[in-house]
């Protein structure tokens, strides 16, 4: 089942600069910074009330974030939804005709299993499914 929005992902060019900016904006520093080697990104996470914001900076031109920024510039990159069973949701969404970028969940930042839906099938919005690792 889909739950709350787990976080919003924002693509940034310079994580250090954006950390300073979002610290000023939200009035508190990021609670976590983490490299995700498989995705060639470094991320930082902020809390605003119960809501999470993930900033992502590419560490290689191969990174999806680097390609996104090249095409569209900085900005909101994805919306992540909390799901109770990522395996069941992948099967359900496939059956509904959605195009999954990841048919098998992979390890993401912040101790999550994640999978992305292709934005072509979701009104141009990249959707991330997110489940706390068991
Ligand atoms: Zn994310």
Q: What is the pLDDT of residue 38?
A: 84
Rounded to the nearest angstrom, the distance between the alpha carbon of 129 and the centre of ligand 1 is 9
Q: What is the pLDDT of residue 123?
A: 95
Low-confidence ranges of the chain (pLDDT < 70): none
Rounded to the nearest angstrom, the distance between the alpha carbon of 7 and the centre of ligand 1 is 6
What is the C-alpha separation between 131 and 134, in angstroms, rounded? 8
Nearest 10 degrees: Cα torsion 35, 41, 47, 52: -120
Output the pTM of the full model.
Answer: 0.93
pLDDT digits (tens, 9 = 90+) for 89-99: 999 999 999 99
Q: What is the pLDDT of residue 71?
A: 95
Question: Scanning the structure block, which residue is given the tokens 């799901």?
Answer: 83
Q: What is the pLDDT of residue 49?
A: 95
Q: What is the pLDDT of residue 134?
A: 85
Rounded to the nearest angstrom, the distance between the alpha carbon of 126 and the centre of ligand 1 is 10
Rounded to the nearest angstrom, the distance between the alpha carbon of 90 and the centre of ligand 1 is 17
Q: What is the pLDDT of residue 109?
A: 87
Q: What is the pLDDT of residue 11?
A: 98
Rounded to the nearest angstrom, the distance between the alpha carbon of 114 and the centre of ligand 1 is 8
Rounded to the nearest angstrom, the distance between the alpha carbon of 6 and the centre of ligand 1 is 8
What is the C-alpha separation between 104 and 101, in angstroms, rounded? 9
Alpha carbon distances (Å) from 57 to 12, 100, 115: 5, 23, 19
């Amino acid at each position: 089942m889909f739950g709350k929005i787990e976080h919003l992902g924002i693509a940034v060019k310079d994580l250090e600069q954006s950390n300073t900016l979002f610290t000023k904006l939200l009035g508190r520093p990021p609670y976590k910074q983490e490299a995700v080697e498989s995705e060639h990104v470094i991320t930082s996470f902020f809390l605003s009330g119960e809501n999470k914001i993930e900033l992502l900076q590419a560490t290689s031109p191969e990174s999806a974030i680097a390609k996104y920024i090249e095409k569209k510039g900085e900005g909101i990159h994805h919306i992540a939804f909390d799901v109770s069973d990522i395996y069941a949701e992948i099967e359900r969404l496939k059956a509904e005709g959605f195009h999954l970028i990841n048919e098998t969940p992979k390890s993401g930042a912040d101790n999550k299993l994640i999978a992305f839906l292709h934005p072509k099938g979701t009104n141009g919005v990249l959707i991330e499914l997110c489940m706390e690792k068991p």
